[in-house]
Structure 1
């Protein structure tokens, strides 16, 4: 009969075993401020709890542009990190280079196909295999409104673009700026894509701004979208060029402007100012887009590693990213919503709960739309070319809709 090992010896052997399988995960990200930095720390803690070590590879600035430059040089030199913050079509571009690892075993064990909407799951895969773990969902097509300002003007926030122009006129007559806008090219494109969804609907948006179909880009519907978009400009102010998005949000918070169209990171500004959703500010789908959900999803691509221990740590990282605990912690800090379905949202505010309800409905209805303006819809070269056309159209008095359509067709061919 075997005698049991002394408790201290058994514990020591277990510790040795865990150390033997422990690895290091080097993670490239640009979560360097505020709640995002706190969320990164939570992810780090969950990995350390499993015995792994975390090597932070944070590159601030440029919305990830600087990080991608550094990443390319690392991969070319054969020294890729375990994981890197990459999203949208760029995931496929990296996968085609043959440098990303399959995490199918994690996805299968954790039932990702059941927990993620099909549209989202497909973006995380290359040739049917998961190569990235999704972190969150930002909704882009939000209208943020100051209810006190609307009350003062004796009108309701608009639910269609026709209503928008009626409301904008009434607000202007009341001496209130209708729309706070930041004149930067990505903000111009954000506004444009919400008009395209609201005026053309999800099928038009998909054909024109995801599939880049030339006939749709030059269609009568696109002409209507462009002319509607240009009609909005007189309801913004002359100081808009170069303004950061958060300064535009501050105008709505202070009652200097009635509305802003912006992704749900704008909510963080209202909350930081001590404002309550439903009381001090309203979060509504942008005009005409109530049944659609334009999204931006952060995700981590997993790179091929030589070390078996590090590869195991990498898979633990992927599992941790999709865990309910991290999904809650991170998204409460970021202002976004969990990408994982079936999450309890007790700690989330009313805007997040509305976003989660609409996300689930859009997933069922086939109206989840990848955001063009936020790197989810088309390759970066085409996105950049389209961004330039839209900003030039917005800022030029000489370019008409017909000219813009010709330029869009040409921009869509950029590779």
Structure 2
């Protein structure tokens, strides 16, 4: 077991070194020479200091992204082969004879250890955000959000784990099918309650104070047939300097939300373009296409996970200290496999998302007829987020679910507005 643990750690360290070399010494984020001096050239709308900061901050964020995902895999692998998962299961079984309580106890210990193990990544990310003036949170405020995250994720995971392992015990080989069927209403329920139950745990939402702007936004919403009577403002300036706006929820719980940072840093024309973009997702039915795509991927993913888990446990029973798939101690293996599968399919899901974002940009242009505001919006988003206009290939391939700012501005410049 020590050899397997050391090998896994060694592979992770080697991967980290290779990603560091790629991001800091090999990959290029410069724009093509033919675009120098255009609206796509960051040198035309960023100061020299902002150019340096955006390059450095983006590299750090990208490195943390590529290190954190395999670190999660390493964590689950070590939890399995070192016998920690088996120990958590014994504590759970000794606590109660009721399987629901056993699931709660086991998941608490696994979640707690996972929180402690991944805390350094979160803290480093927080410190860099503070250093580059992206975060306005005090350490206490940041920790409060981490604690809320822990309990929200624990509650959702408890529901999933209790149901999932109940199905595993009842349907030994085909548990993945009823699990998939139940995942659909569960996902829809979470989407329905998130705007009114989960989101307010983190931030304070209140009606938009600028009523003239609200009237303009609701006029756009009316054209898009969005059932909204109010626009909400959320206090994000106490946490970040980044900009954002979104339309969330489904049915009667649909909400139009603007960050107060967006209201402070952008003019009305830019805000209306952003809101038209968000409404474009609604008009294009992206939420329903997303649900359909998610359901299909979940079906395939659960089927693959079930087969991989069964094969892995049969071949590595002694090594992983898990005798059956339905044992609670197999949960880290389930999470490891699903995490790897999600990462493997991310280039496809990112590609689909980038296409949808382009469609939403197109809808916003068609609705507002304001190319100048669109270009200014993308430039301001780049500036506020210290992001790269043209990120390296692997970053775009695995991380970007939006088109690059270079692609978005280029699309705007080439978009044929009808007179």
Range of TM-score over shorter length? under 0.3
Structure number with the higher helix fraction is: 2
Higher relative contact order (CA 8 A, sep 6+): 1
How does the TM-score come out when normalised to structure 2? 0.23
Structure number with the higher strand fraction is: 1
